[in-house]
Amino acid sequence: MLTLYNYLTKAAYVLLYPWLKRKYATGFDERRGIFAEQKRLNNAIWIHAVSVGEVQAALPFISEAKKHSGMNVLLSTTTMTGAKIANQLSANFDAHIFFPWDTKHFIARALDCLKPRAFVTVETEIWPIMLSQLKERGIPSFLINGRISDKSFKRMSRFPSFWKPVFSCFDHIMVREKQDEHRLEKLGVSRNIISVTGDCKIDALLERKNQCDAIQAIEHSKPIFVAGSTHPGEEEQVIAAFVILRGKIPGAKLIIVPRHPERANEVGALTSKIGRTVYYSEFVEFEFMKDESAWEFLIVDKIGALFCLYSIAEGAFIGGSLVPKGGQNIMEPALFGTPFCHGKYMSDFSHVSDQFKQLGISKVIATAEEIADFWMQSADEKFKHKAGRLCENWFIENSGGAAKNWNIISKYISR
């Protein structure tokens, strides 16, 4: 089946070549396994993180690898946004590349050129040709922060004869929770190469927390609520919820952060019918906080801003959950003790959403009225204080995944 897979990926590349060359003009050679001399870090640890979330999960592991090994780190991403966020967060890597397309010719050329000491991929990035080539060459490969979602497991279960040998190419697989381990075992993967080490994103969030000290230091008298990473069909609900809320808390303000910043004008067109609307890019850093009378709605049209905005919120709504998108990162508001609500579609964060719900930090909602009710509860000082304490304890208990991953991988690299 691997031969058929390689044939199909190669055929797809040939057929789509004109479109691929236009869409991926940046990094096109690298996606075909051709790299500039300064990026050929022989004997480096190659870490692959497809986009923003995976890069954030990889950062604590990169820190551990650099601290304990002193080896060069080569970071690859697939998306431009992944590359941008890596540079914005000042990740401690030595070079960045775009990941080569998964055909035998491109992968072989990339490995011949880069000669990595080890390969580490993050979360759900499973590329069969890459893994088989690494195994053939005796280059150890690892999956960290691994997760097998409901959707992925259903798909993989249809072809276990394909996925079992693919996963078995890994020297070791480190997953977030027991459910991921059980699903891999059901696919036929040996439990001897699987370890449950927790979620590296927890460590990443703790490392980033102090980046928000500046905005938290700015005094504001009006309560702020945040709707984070929203999708079409959700903005109407949170705006309606805010109208209800504002009837009870007249000075309240709402920050909406569309999942895709290019939709900012579309969202702003909705809010401008109701109240004074401004855009994040109109201000230098956090200057919008210093003139509370200038706005009722702030629409964020820039990537990377949401994280710190959660730190000033009384309550939050998590997007991608009222519509079937799998939900967005609920640990970000929790890090700051900010209570949050979300819809029923949280498959991408099911491993923690149930925990936060049981602690009383979050609530599953379905309507604008329910969002407004939860935000009203979040504005209560006692409730907010209790949520903050519970969140702090949760992060203390669940951190340390990056160090656990490095401890396992370092044993293979030192052999």
pTM for the model: 0.82
Number of domains observed in the structure of the chain: 2
- pLDDT, residue 223, reads 95
Asked if residue 7 has pLDDT above 90, the reply is no
Assess whether 259 and 272 both reside in one domain: yes
Q: Give the residue numbers spanning the domain of 120.
A: 27-198+400-413
Contact between 316 and 310 (Cβ < 8 Å): yes
- pLDDT, residue 1, reads 76
- pLDDT, residue 246, reads 95
- pLDDT, residue 415, reads 62
pLDDT tens, residue by residue, 58-87? 999 999 999 998 899 999 999 988 888 887
The answer to whether residue 380 sits within a structural domain is: yes
The answer to whether residue 338 sits within a structural domain is: yes
- pLDDT, residue 91, reads 66
Contact between 145 and 174 (Cβ < 8 Å): yes
Give the span between the Cα atoms of 412 and 122, in whole angstroms: 18
Task: Tell the burial category of 304 from Cβ atoms under 10 Å away from its Cβ (0-12, 13-18, 19+).
Answer: middle
The answer to whether residue 306 sits within a structural domain is: yes
pLDDT tens, residue by residue, 208-236? 899 899 999 998 888 999 999 999 999 99
Q: According to DSSP H, which parts of 52-149 are helical?
A: 52-69, 80-88, 104-114, 128-137
For the chain, give percent helix, strand, coil, nearest 5.
55, 15, 30
- pLDDT, residue 90, reads 60
Give the span between the Cα atoms of 29 and 100, in whole angstroms: 9
CATH of the domain at 308: 3.40.50.2000
The answer to whether residue 22 sits within a structural domain is: no
The answer to whether residue 20 sits within a structural domain is: no
The answer to whether residue 346 sits within a structural domain is: yes
pLDDT tens, residue by residue, 178-199? 999 999 999 999 999 999 999 9
